[in-house]
Structure 1
């Protein structure tokens, strides 16, 4: 007779470290327990942007997380929403579990799955494998939900109870009957591209579970310096790089206005600049080589035209 006993977790959870007396921004730094899911990001890798109210995005987000809040980062693609979450986890030794949501994401993708596996004695057993939500809740990690407004309502509903106040939140796993009290350091950070094609409006009750933070593209002069920092581009190319960043701004305006379906990110500007290093390509050729190959076929004509006119 087959053994159908459910075995919990193929790998045991590793809890986040204990609190220290140090802080990064407003958020407590945890002990470094060499957790494999803590990202590696340099301390100076992120530009701290000033928001309304005279505080930076890092200060506002870390304050919210320290107060036990969940955070949704809103803004167009390429402004660094997901990177900000990785950056904060790296500086505070928090495990990061990430999932990109879509209309084909189901509750099980968040919670986990039951798997039938063969044991050493040849019998079959059912083993539970945690999903990113469950694992983050057990370990005191940060769950990063990319594109939260691309998921359907049924998937989002799985998050309701676990995103209550810390005193009342819980997580139930229907497949095993386990009811889990989330670790005190567990938090949710979501990203959203509001108002763009393929997204949904979040209902008011769910949105109320988040502290909302809006991020914009970096100022042009800051983005120019960032590209220099991440490449070996000669400083003599600064006028050309300034034109490139201004051109990126025009493409972003076109994306926001619905003229283009493909945004342009800082990462793409860095890649373009890498091909301008050592005069391997001129800026116009490097931009055309990068963007024309990547944009939607319906955007190609407009992108070519803008490259020729502005670069």
Structure 2
């Protein structure tokens, strides 16, 4: 077909229709600009056009507003936008896949579904992928002689991948909305918690309530993840007996789970962190931190780059041991009364009102103070007695507080490097009071892939493992090049979220790179290397 021919019922040349839809798909997949030269060379795979004819059509389309071109001073041009003309040609759809699901449901697109199984499923009342994905194995196993239990499991898992993500997001949002319903008004409402009134304490150590010996491993956190998976290490950190204590980090399957709940795998178990080895002590970080927490109110400092999993590891330890987790973000304006509470009028007298740190210590929580060094020196020094002696002197309250025996204190911070120039060096007098550990990014590609796989592909596959591995390998490259934006493990979970929303993997990578770039960094510098992976 020639560029002069027109699509049926349309005045746009058929070559332009194919070309515009090809550009549309390439922009989606590439995540941004596509060189005109690359498009011109590829279009002959789909339509009878020479590269020169294609280049001419792009120039014509630029004048007609079909394409948006960015021309460099050297004369090279890239396409940055397109308005696809007409209906997407079948040749493009076949090459890139359907843009959206067909309205007519055909379960045979699932690998294990034969004609017989497809008919049996529809006869059983399954008329959409969402209803099939909600079924149980027992509901469909045995509908035909070939639909075994194991085949039914695979069928249901793949069915979930065909459910539009918007439907699942809507259900999840409705579940969270229902949890915030006011029973009196039957309408959703915000919740405001006066921390000074939350006076319930964490649970008792499990060994006490069960009548075990204190050193019984059943009553303590055992490090059995990462390097310790093959040879678990008892840490001495006691498990408490109240998993429903309000500030214990909840699994996503818990009735009170919220948007910040811990992810679970296909077995309903909380996904463990990818535990790094402390580069100096050469011991798994969860083991080191748990053993320090087991020693009582021993101040701990965890230093690591953004998104390396500092808070997730601490939340995981609290979840596994049923300990309250209170995360507090501080800044340069933080003063002692923000931590311990102000003095407020009560009638004719002034009385102390407990702040988050003081009340958390009274309740037996694990207090995690983030970005500790940016806090004013006076606020940090107000904690010195707690760091030294395990008791808190609140001068303005006139109180000496001996915390609950389960109370713990951890601070986190970014390393004071060029990338984190706002991270102030900690006062040496304060720094010396902490047991300090470093949490680097995950060094092993396969280990990071395993962790992400469990987080993003539980319940419904989102990113196939080979693609996930390529993304992780590229992320490791960004961590070694100071001039590129750095992709952290947290960034990769966001990246996978974009893919779940329908974004092509390379486009998702570019979007997240752009989102985390510092003013002096240029994501485009990393694109050539990205092309080696995706």
- TM tier, shorter chain? 0.7 to 0.9
The answer (yes or no) to whether the contact 1:152–1:200 under 8 Å persists in 2 is: no
Which of 488, 491, 494 is the aligned partner of 1:271?
494
The answer (yes or no) to whether the contact 1:16–1:33 under 8 Å persists in 2 is: no
* Rounded Cα–Cα distance in structure 2 between residues aligned with 1:248 and 1:33: 36
* Rounded Cα–Cα distance in structure 2 between residues aligned with 1:15 and 1:245: 42
Q: What displacement does 1:127 show?
A: 5.4
* Rounded Cα–Cα distance in structure 2 between residues aligned with 1:164 and 1:111: 17
The answer (yes or no) to whether the contact 1:14–1:139 under 8 Å persists in 2 is: yes
Which of 213, 217, 225 is the aligned partner of 2:441?
217
Q: What displacement does 1:49 show?
A: 3.0
The answer (yes or no) to whether the contact 2:271–2:454 under 8 Å persists in 1 is: no
Residue 231 (structure 1) aligned with residue 456 (structure 2): yes
Q: What displacement does 1:237 show?
A: 4.0
Which of 18, 24, 36 is the aligned partner of 2:221?
24
Q: What displacement does 1:53 show?
A: 5.2
Partner SS state of residue 357, structure 2:
helix
Q: What displacement does 1:282 show?
A: 2.1
* Rounded Cα–Cα distance in structure 1 between residues aligned with 2:480 and 2:411: 24
Higher relative contact order (CA 8 A, sep 6+): 1
What is residue 129 of structure 1 aligned with on the other side? 353
User: Which structure features the higher share of helix residues?
Assistant: 2
Q: What displacement does 1:293 show?
A: 3.9
The answer (yes or no) to whether the contact 2:245–2:324 under 8 Å persists in 1 is: yes
Partner SS state of residue 190, structure 1:
strand
Q: What displacement does 1:43 show?
A: 4.1
The 1:310/1:162 distance shift into structure 2, 3 A limit, reads same
The 1:297/1:236 distance shift into structure 2, 3 A limit, reads closer
Which of 47, 55, 60 is the aligned partner of 2:283?
55
What is the TM-score of this pair, normalised by structure 1?
0.82
Cα deviation digits, residues 242-293 of structure 1 (max 9, x gap):
2321222232234xx4x35x64322221222233349x33221112233324
The answer (yes or no) to whether the contact 2:304–2:440 under 8 Å persists in 1 is: yes
* Rounded Cα–Cα distance in structure 2 between residues aligned with 1:46 and 1:284: 26
Q: What displacement does 1:28 show?
A: 0.7
Q: How does 1:64-83 map to 2 (within 5 A)?
A: 64-68=292-296, 69-83=298-312
Q: How does 1:197-208 map to 2 (within 5 A)?
A: 197-208=421-432
The answer (yes or no) to whether the contact 2:249–2:319 under 8 Å persists in 1 is: yes
What is residue 3 of structure 1 aligned with on the other side? none
Q: What displacement does 1:308 show?
A: 4.6
Q: How does 1:85-104 map to 2 (within 5 A)?
A: 85-104=314-333
The 1:113/1:33 distance shift into structure 2, 3 A limit, reads farther
* Rounded Cα–Cα distance in structure 2 between residues aligned with 1:95 and 1:115: 27
The 1:148/1:89 distance shift into structure 2, 3 A limit, reads same
User: Which structure features the higher share of strand residues?
Assistant: 1
Q: How does 1:111-190 map to 2 (within 5 A)?
A: 111-116=340-345, 126=350, 128-165=352-389, 169-190=390-411
The 1:127/1:295 distance shift into structure 2, 3 A limit, reads farther
The runs of 5 or more residues in structure 2 that have no matched partner are 1-194, 208-218, 223-234, 251-261, 263-268
The 1:238/1:19 distance shift into structure 2, 3 A limit, reads closer
The answer (yes or no) to whether the contact 1:72–1:190 under 8 Å persists in 2 is: yes
* Rounded Cα–Cα distance in structure 2 between residues aligned with 1:136 and 1:10: 9
The answer (yes or no) to whether the contact 1:172–1:178 under 8 Å persists in 2 is: yes
* Rounded Cα–Cα distance in structure 2 between residues aligned with 1:129 and 1:164: 25
Partner SS state of residue 145, structure 1:
strand
The 1:265/1:179 distance shift into structure 2, 3 A limit, reads same
Q: What displacement does 1:178 show?
A: 2.0
Q: What displacement does 1:112 show?
A: 1.2
Q: What displacement does 1:12 show?
A: 4.8
What is the TM-score of this pair, normalised by structure 2?
0.50
Partner SS state of residue 393, structure 2:
strand
Residue 295 (structure 1) aligned with residue 522 (structure 2): no
The answer (yes or no) to whether the contact 1:141–1:185 under 8 Å persists in 2 is: yes
| Most deviating of 151-160 and 288-297 | 288-297
Partner SS state of residue 206, structure 1:
helix
